């Protein structure tokens, strides 16, 4: 069976859906091929595993006042709200409030100002943050880069980190009802304009010639004038999409870019035990937003300002790679044990409070093979060569 289109798009994640919508609006005949049985990629809101509320297994936050994202939400009439709450850290067996995600930022900025050439964050910490009095700053920088970027400290760019922390907007938002609302809107808009998305169609081969591209997927032969691949970086790096002739140089360059691993653990309890005064060491955590620690699952956040009993555990970067082969039960057990250590709560009491639990290991997802990309040292030059 053969189909003919102007443009074939591989992948119905955020990039594929937006490209499909833009091209259909421009009057092109478009087909989007998606290997999964759903659109959205790492935007995936679910309500199962005994959860009584929708939870985000992937993307959850809008990081900054992103013009396009907020425009689409406004156009679709989808409400969103700011992420609020206090940040805390478990430090030397005590819960301490943080002023921001990066403590002692003025000291960090003064060190940034001394940089003339790009370094890995690991080299920057070793060379510029080695003073004993900067121990807590080293902790927060490491936690931020591994957690927020899911990055390897030995590869991540300090120039990119400097730009992020000194020039970007630090506001964050959540979408009411989850990212699924935005995904549904994009799918609906594209279909209304004549675009086609077909699911459960794993691309087996992309044969590209001067005048046309032939995509083989799901037993179909799809002939296009052009093809646009929007597969995640981790899939590129693993060489999982066979192009004929092979795109060897692009794949090899892609392997030099940063793709971070992410494990996310979602837990719903009968009540928010982190409000209990007997385990918060006299601190008021009713407005708790984020909590950082040195535990196996180090980063946690609530749904504040929503009144919710859901806690999300987060592990990114090399520590996530170290645990990528653990089972769901093992990851949930590590998460609960981390909470026991942070709050000094009895494990039996915590188990009795637990209503629902699941873990999401994006590295083990065959169509993703990682959490998201991050900037490596001199990464812009590599991206330019790929493009």
Q: Mean pLDDT throughout 27-50?
A: 94
Mean pLDDT of the 289-296 span: 94
Nearest-angstrom CA–CA distance, 86 and 105? 17
pLDDT of residue 98: 83
Is the confidence at residue 1, as pLDDT, over 80?
no
Condensed to tens digits (0 to 9), the pLDDT of residues 133-177 reads 988 889 889 988 988 889 999 999 999 999 988 887 778 999 999
User: Comparing C-alpha atoms, which of 260, 288, 262 is closest to residue 273?
Assistant: 288
Which SS3 state, helix, strand or coil, does residue 322 take?
Answer: helix
How does the average pLDDT of the chain come out, rounded?
Answer: 93
pLDDT value of position 101: 72
Name, in order, each residue with C-beta under 8 angstroms of 139's C-beta and a sequence gap of 6 or more: 89, 91, 294
Express as a percent the part of the chain with pLDDT over 90.
82
Q: What is the mean pLDDT of residues 277-292?
A: 92
Residue 39 scores a pLDDT above 90: yes
- pLDDT tier for residue 79 given thresholds of 50, 70 and 90: very high
| Other C-beta atoms lying within 10 Å of the C-beta of residue 22 | 14
Rounded (10°) CA dihedral 19, 23, 28, 32:
20
Beta bridge partners of 174: 81
| Lowest pLDDT segment from 46-50, 198-202, 281-285 | 46-50
CA 315 to the chain's CA centroid: 11
- CA 218 to CA 36: how far, in whole Å? 12
**pLDDT for 10:** 98
Residue 310 has pLDDT above 90, yes or no: yes
Inform me whether the pLDDT recorded for 119 exceeds 70: yes
What is the rounded CA–CA span in Å between residue 373 and residue 258? 5
Average pLDDT of the residues in 215-233: 94
* In contact, 288 and 274? CB cutoff 8 Å: yes
Q: Which residues of 213-227 are buried (b: 16+ CB within 10 A; e: fewer)?
A: bbbbbeeeebebeeb
3-state secondary structure (DSSP) of residue 61: coil
């Amino acid at each position: 069976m053969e189909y003919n289109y102007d443009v074939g798009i591989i992948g119905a994640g955020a990039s594929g859906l937006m490209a499909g919508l833009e091209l259909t609006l421009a009057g092109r005949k478009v087909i989007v091929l998606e290997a999964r049985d759903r659109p959205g990629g790492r935007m995936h809101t679910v309500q199962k595993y005994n959860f009584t509320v929708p939870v985000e297994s992937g993307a959850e936050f809008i990081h900054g006042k992103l013009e396009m994202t907020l425009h689409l939400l406004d156009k679709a009439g989808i409400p969103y709200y700011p992420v609020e709450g206090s940040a805390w850290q478990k430090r030397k067996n005590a819960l301490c409030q943080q002023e921001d995600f990066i403590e002692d930022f003025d000291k960090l900025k003064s060190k940034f100002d001394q940089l003339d050439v790009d370094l890995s964050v690991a080299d920057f910490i070793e060379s510029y943050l080695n003073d004993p009095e900067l121990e807590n700053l080293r902790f927060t920088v490491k936690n931020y880069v591994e957690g927020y970027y899911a990055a390897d400290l030995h590869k991540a760019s300090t120039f990119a980190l400097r730009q992020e922390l000194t020039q970007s907007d630090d506001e964050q938002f959540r979408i009411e009802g989850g990212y699924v609302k935005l995904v549904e809107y994009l799918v609906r808009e594209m279909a209304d304009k004549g675009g086609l998305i077909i699911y459960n169609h794993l691309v087996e081969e992309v044969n590209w010639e001067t005048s046309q591209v032939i995509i083989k997927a799901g037993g179909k032969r799809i002939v296009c004038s052009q093809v646009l691949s929007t597969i995640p970086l981790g899939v590129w790096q693993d060489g999982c999409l066979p192009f004929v002739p092979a795109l060897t140089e692009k794949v090899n360059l892609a392997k030099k870019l940063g793709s971070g691993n992410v494990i996310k653990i979602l837990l719903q309890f009968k009540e928010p035990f982190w409000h209990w005064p007997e385990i918060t060491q006299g601190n008021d955590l009713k407005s708790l937003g984020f909590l950082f620690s040195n535990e196996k699952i180090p980063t946690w956040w609530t749904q504040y300002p929503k009144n919710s009993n859901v806690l999300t555990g987060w592990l990114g970067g090399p520590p996530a790679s170290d645990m990528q082969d653990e089972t769901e039960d093992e990851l949930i057990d590590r998460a609960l044990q981390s909470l026991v250590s942070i709050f000094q709560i009895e494990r039996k009491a915590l188990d009795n409070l637990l209503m629902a639990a699941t873990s999401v290991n994006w590295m083990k997802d065959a169509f993703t093979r990682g959490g998201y990309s991050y900037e490596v040292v001199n990464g812009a030059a590599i991206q330019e060569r790929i493009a």
